[in-house]
Copies of this chain bind each other. A is one copy, B any other.
Amino acid sequence: MNPLLSGPPAVVAAGVDVFSDALRAQGAEVHDVDWRPPGFGDAADLAALVLDPRRGTANRTAVERVLAAGSVLTDVRPAREVLGLTDRTILHAGPPITWADASGPLRGGLIGATLFEGWASTVAEAERLLAAGEIALDPCHHHSAVGPMAGVTSPSMWMWCLEDPVQGGKAYCNLNEGLGKVLRMGAFNDEVLTRLAWMREVLGPVLAAAVRSMSDPLDVKAVLAQMLQMGDEGHNRNRAGSLMALRELSPAVVEVDAASSDIAAVLRFIGGNEHFFLNLGMPTAKLAMDAARDVPGSTMVTVMARNGTEFGIQTAGTGDRWFTGPAQTPVGLYLGDYGPDDANPDIGDSAIMETYGVGGFSMAAAPAIVRFVGGTVPDALATTERMYQLTLAENPAMAIPILGFRGSPTGIDVVSVARTGWLPQINTGMAGRVAGTGQVGAGLVQPPRECFEQALTALAAEVR
């Protein structure tokens, strides 16, 4: 007689409950195994990573560094001084790229910066220099910097200089220009260049003098934490953060030795830009993620960034290597008469916010954002709930009130992404695909799966 039939069955059930429930109802002994087919990724790679004894500890180490990181504003200085951009170099968002592969908004930003620096006096001349490789291009991320949208950063631009007082890191970001026709969205007309010149001549020096005069440096992490209590998610809603930055900076600004009309113009400029804080939030997230660089065995994502053509990620276990795939085009809401055909694929280093667990990951804290990026309030709540499945920790410093002050979902695990098949949710601005257009809208986007497939393979190769 078959032994299966000679005694009571002992069953191990994986997958849907209906089978195990039916057996259990008949008195069978059932052991449930929480398993489902992986969302994507090579099974042997996944198995190697799941069985890697280093992984638990390494991921804990990595995410604890992220959670521990602080962020204070220490200075405002020209890029050439702090990023070492002495010769003809322009930094850009995302993974490395050449002029030939650059999309419209990145080309627009590069043309604008070339004109702004005086390296060319016409658009045609700028395009010729850039196409000839006479101006070097390098990712912001290779210089401890981040830049929203095109991320174009050239030597004469003033940079926020931030430090992590806990772990000693430094990070940099240029000053936010506002919305609409702006360099980071690929616009480069006279309006853009005039504003950049004012930022170089007035805004930067006034902010530098103000920041240096402050006896207590601005605690940028504390502002970001407070934003989540005030309906911002720190990527596409920075209203409260920009107001708090204004509050913290304005007493020092008014005591700067400058014309009162310049002081008033600086306050109006900051007060008129609801995204002013973004360029302080991004280097805050960068400080935290850089603190987790180079933790062997960790499968945590340290960078998500897009150059308008490709989306790239880095992980704590693989150092500075980029894993890339084609950038997707966001879906969302459009300004004025613009529509989906006008939008460029995903661009910008601002996905560092989601890498840190805010932005799209914390949309539950910012239900009003659906009026800017699309979707519904329940979608926003569900997105945050889903991101907890992809992440290693809840950040107690970044509490989400509506979820009973639960910490934001922080530290994307490449293995969890592959196992669930769910991709990180990013909310983002949309640049016009034609150079010179500027912003056309804002929406929701995800990284291409390829980034995570490549990272998985590379991480697994480190194990073997």
Contact call A401/B230, Cβ cutoff below 8 A? no
In chain A, positions 206-234 with a C-beta closer than 8 Å to chain B are 226, 229-232
Nearest opposing residue in chain B for A263, CB measure: B254
A264–B271 alpha-carbon span in the complex (Å): 17
A405–B377 alpha-carbon span in the complex (Å): 9
* Known contacts A243-B244, A246-B243, A367-B401, A251 near B268 by CB under 8 Å: yes
Chain B contacts for A403, CB-based, 8 A = 377
CB distance from A39 to the nearest CB of B (A): 30
Q: Mask for A157-175, Cβ within 8 A of B = 1, else 0?
A: 0000000000000000000
Contact call B254/A271, Cβ cutoff below 8 A? no
A229–B231 alpha-carbon span in the complex (Å): 6
Q: Mask for A259-289, Cβ within 8 A of B = 1, else 0?
A: 0110110011001000000000000000000
Contact call B254/A254, Cβ cutoff below 8 A? yes
Q: Does A189 interact with chain B (Cβ within 8 Å)?
A: no
Q: Does A458 interact with chain B (Cβ within 8 Å)?
A: no
Contact of A260 among B254, B268, B370 (CB under 8 A): B254
In chain A, positions 364-380 with a C-beta closer than 8 Å to chain B are 367-368, 370-371, 376-377
Q: Mask for A232-245, Cβ within 8 A of B = 1, else 0?
A: 10000001100110
Chain B contacts for A251, CB-based, 8 A = 264, 267-268, 271
Q: Does A8 interact with chain B (Cβ within 8 Å)?
A: no
Chain B contacts for A371, CB-based, 8 A = 405
Contact call B401/A231, Cβ cutoff below 8 A? yes
Q: Does A404 interact with chain B (Cβ within 8 Å)?
A: yes
Contact call B402/A229, Cβ cutoff below 8 A? no
Q: Does A250 interact with chain B (Cβ within 8 Å)?
A: yes
Q: Does A247 interact with chain B (Cβ within 8 Å)?
A: yes
A267–B268 alpha-carbon span in the complex (Å): 14
Chain B contacts for A405, CB-based, 8 A = 371, 377
Contact call A271/B250, Cβ cutoff below 8 A? yes
Contact of A368 among B254, B264, B401 (CB under 8 A): B401
CB distance from A81 to the nearest CB of B (A): 28
CB distance from A215 to the nearest CB of B (A): 12
Binding site for B on A (CB under 8 A): 226, 229-232, 239-240, 243-244, 246-248, 250-251, 254-255, 260-261, 263-264, 267-268, 271, 367-368, 370-371, 376-377, 401-405
Interchain Cβ contacts under 8 Å between A and B, 10 examples? A230-B231, A230-B368, A239-B240, A243-B246, A247-B271, A251-B264, A251-B268, A367-B401, A377-B401, A402-B402
